[in-house]
Amino acid sequence: MVAIKASRAFTNRPKIAKVEGAYHGVYDYAEVSQAPRPETWGSIDRPESVPLVHGTPASALGDVVIIPFNDPERAIAILDRHADDLACVLLDLMPHRVGLKPADPDFVTVIREWATRNGSLLVLDEVITFRTEHGGLQSRYDVTPDLTAIGKMIGGGFPVGAVVGRSEVMEVLNPRAKRVLFPHSGTFSANPISTTAGLVAMELFDEAAVARLNALADRAMKGIEAAIAESGVPACVTGGGSMFRVHMKPQPPRNFRESYLTPEENIRLKALLEHMFAEGFILINTCSATLSTPMTESEIDQLVAAFGRGFEKMAAGV
């Protein structure tokens, strides 16, 4: 929310663009088209701005432009139609609900160049992807965003969110400025417990810790892929860094529409989640996982074995 508002304050433009299906929090504008359905999402060349919450004002929908993930041509054609009004393009480099597949470097470059050319900002949402590399997932790309949103793990388990970026843009929040374009405060601002816990967590989550956790996720993904192959069920795994997601689809989905579950896939996913729960693993309803530093190979191997038994049951039609 703060990154979107800062973008508007800096550019004095009303609209934002975001990827169809991407989750960026509970701000009205951020949640537009977070969960559209085939009957509401419209044409892929002109995706509809679909409300998530009953009662979302039409004005909010009108100020959010929806682009498809990893589809540079279509995305640019859509952005071009709103070029003078867009404060920012909001992008998660590996959006969980879009399929947890890393963005293609070309897609990111094209969006970055478009934003620069058109006086719009590029805002990267690294609220969950920051864990992927010591410098965030963006360090794997040849990209410099104008703003980055981070949160979750940077609080070491305590509630926190932060926006960082180009000083010229951050200046809109400067409380010492003669005229503050974006005055900001709130219950969670400057919380000493969150910032202390976050500082310690960030000191401990050094390059070695990131590499160790990523290697564990790699082990999990390879193990789950092998279990899928052995069982022969139509499923696959996507992810990167220390996160992964299991799809009830034979091929990794490339965007939100491809990752959308058919009723039959939904039944199989629910059965797998229930099986995992019975085995002692609670997974989010998308069947995604984010590993944490206390984990070791032992927990990962137990997780993979539980998935394996789940796929076997599925193959046997149990």
Residues lying near ligand PLP in the complex (CB under 6 A)? 1, 23-25, 92, 125, 127-128, 151, 161
Quote the tokens at residue 79: 């952005």
Residue 2: CB minimum distance to ligand PLP, A: 8
Cβ nearer to ligand PLP, comparing 184 with 268: 184
> Is the Cβ of residue 128 or residue 272 nearer to ligand PLP in the bound state?
128
State the minimum distance, in angstroms, from the CB of residue 262 to ligand PLP. Answer: 25
Residue 135, Cα to own-chain centre: how many angstroms? 16
CB 25 to ligand PLP: min, Å:
3
* Token pair recorded at residue 227: 């279990």
Q: In what order do the strands lie in the sheet with 86-91?
A: 64-67, 15-19, 86-91, 121-125, 147-151, 161-165
What is residue 314's three-state secondary structure? helix
Smallest distance, ligand PLP to C-beta of residue 21, A: 12
DSSP result, 114-147: HHHHTT-EEEEE-TTGGGGSTT-GGGGTT---SE
CB of 26 to ligand PLP, least distance (A): 6
Q: Say how far apart CA 32 and CA 51 lie, in whole Å.
A: 5
Nearer to ligand PLP, 128 or 269 (CB): 128
- The β-bridge relationship of strands 15-19 and 86-91 is parallel
DSSP for 273-302 reads: HHHHHHTT----TT-EEE--TT--HHHHHH
Strands 161-165, 15-19: pairing kind:
unpaired
Question: Smaller CB distance to ligand PLP: residue 31 or 227?
Answer: 31
Residue closest to ligand PLP, measured at CB = 25
204-230 burial code (b ≥16 CB/10 A, e <16)? ebeeebbeebbebbbbbbebbbebbee
Instruction: Considering the complex, state which of residue 69 and residue 311 has its C-beta at the smaller distance from ligand PLP.
Output: 69
Give the shortest CB-268-to-ligand PLP separation in angstroms.
Answer: 25
Q: Cβ of residue 161: shortest distance to ligand PLP, in angstroms?
A: 4
Question: Which CB sits closer to ligand PLP, 67 or 314?
Answer: 67
Cβ proximity to ligand PLP, 155 vs 253, nearer residue: 155
Question: Token digits for 191?
Answer: 């919380």
